[in-house]
Amino acid sequence: MFSEGYVEADGFRIRYMEAGQGAPLVHFHGAGGLRLTPAHDLLARHFRVVAFEMPGFGQSPENSRTRSMPELASTMAQAVKNLDLDTFNLMGTSFGGKTALWLALQAPERVLALVLEAPAAIRQEGAESPSGSPEEIARRLYAHPERLAAIPAPDPAIRAKTQPLVQRLRGPDRDADLESRLPSLATPTLVLFGTRDSVIAPAMGRVYKDLMPGCHLVFVYDAGHGISTDRPEAFAEVVADFLERHEAFVISRTETVIHP
């Protein structure tokens, strides 16, 4: 269902996967690179989903040029613009959550709403990225790796290529520059954490709420760091509802009539 495309921005040739119709939903992946999950399919039923592979990740050439997260955000904003998307919903996963936050800070008028899946922008002290064997990495990322269809093992060559970029861009556990700007960000924002996230402590969620006026925090039960992989239906339902209704998503529409 997803089709591949490329777009130029800041001298990078950037790959993206696209599916669906409706309001645009742009997605930035985590430090492991772009991998489509069942949640992308579910969201593509409601939105025109455009999932980017950010420069330096996946099959793209090594990116030794981008110096900082704000710079990457600016490149990605340009890439979105070059797809003729002036305004859009923006979703960022983990590392990509920080990219998404910076983009929203740089161009708030373009971002209709922001979804941060287990964002890595604010981390507990000493937070460590998953590492080791593919099995060890899967155990860090997912609450129930045993329930998942085989996930392709991370390619060591790609990991070696992206690690320096991730290290350079991820910033400190607590990024004072970023955090000082968040109180001015009025964009409707949904922050999601899995209750079993062992990469970023779910308790970090409350910091976003402390700092951002339009922030909603949702815990996805029994999901690890990869929420959209562990519990795609639960993830996609609340994301779609939030993007459709923003803060009014707190009003239930669940019907409870058993027999009319």
Q: Check residue 218 for interaction with other proteins (CB under 8 A).
A: yes
CB atoms inside a 10 Å sphere around CB 63:
19
Please report whether residue 6 would count as binding other proteins according to CB under 8 A. Answer: no
Min dist CB 98 to other proteins, Å, is 20
Closest CB 111 distance from other proteins, rounded Å: 21
Residues 70-129, interacting with other proteins (CB under 8 A): none
CB count in 10 Å sphere of residue 156: 9
Q: At what angle do helices 69-82 and 156-170 cross, to 10 degrees?
A: 110
Q: Which residue has the tokens 């779910």?
A: 202
CB of 223 to other proteins, least distance (A): 8
Among 199, 231, 240, 243, binds other proteins (CB under 8 A): 231
Please report whether residue 205 would count as binding other proteins according to CB under 8 A.
yes
| Residue of 9, 40, 8 lying closest to 235 (CA atoms) | 40
How crowded is residue 105: how many other Cβ atoms within 10 Å of its Cβ? 17
From 13-21, 75-83, 95-103, 209-217, give the range in contact with other proteins by CB under 8 A: 209-217
Taking CB under 8 A as the rule, does residue 225 contact other proteins?
Answer: no
Determine, following the binding rule CB under 8 A, whether residue 142 of this chain makes contact with other proteins: no
| Helix, strand, coil fractions of the chain, as percent rounded to 5 | 40, 20, 40
Q: Which range of residues in 55-63, 93-101, 155-163, 212-220 is near other proteins by CB under 8 A?
A: 212-220
Residue from 16, 52, 102, 235 binding other proteins (CB under 8 A): 235
Smallest gap, in angstroms, from Cβ of residue 237 to other proteins? 7
Instruction: Please tell me what DSSP assigns to residue 67.
Output: -
d(CA 63, CA 53): 12
Report, in Å, the least distance between residue 144 CB and other proteins: 12
Residue 2 or 219: the one with the smaller Cβ distance to other proteins is 219
Beta bridge partners of 13: 8
Nearest one of 90, 73, 103, 85 to 189, comparing CA atoms: 90
Q: Which of 134, 214, 219, 244 binds other proteins (CB under 8 A)?
A: 219
- Pick the closer one to other proteins by CB: 56 or 194: 194
Find the binder of other proteins among 11, 252, 255, 259 (CB under 8 A): 252
Single-letter residue type at 237 = E
User: Which of 47, 235 has the CB closer to other proteins?
Assistant: 235
Name residue 169's beta-bridge partners: none
- Burial-class residue 201 by CB neighbours within 10 Å (0-12, 13-18, 19+): middle
| Other Cβ atoms within 10 Å of 81 Cβ, number | 15
Please give the residue ranges that form the binding site for other proteins (CB under 8 A).
Answer: 192, 195, 205-206, 209-210, 216-222, 231, 234-235, 237-238, 249-252, 254
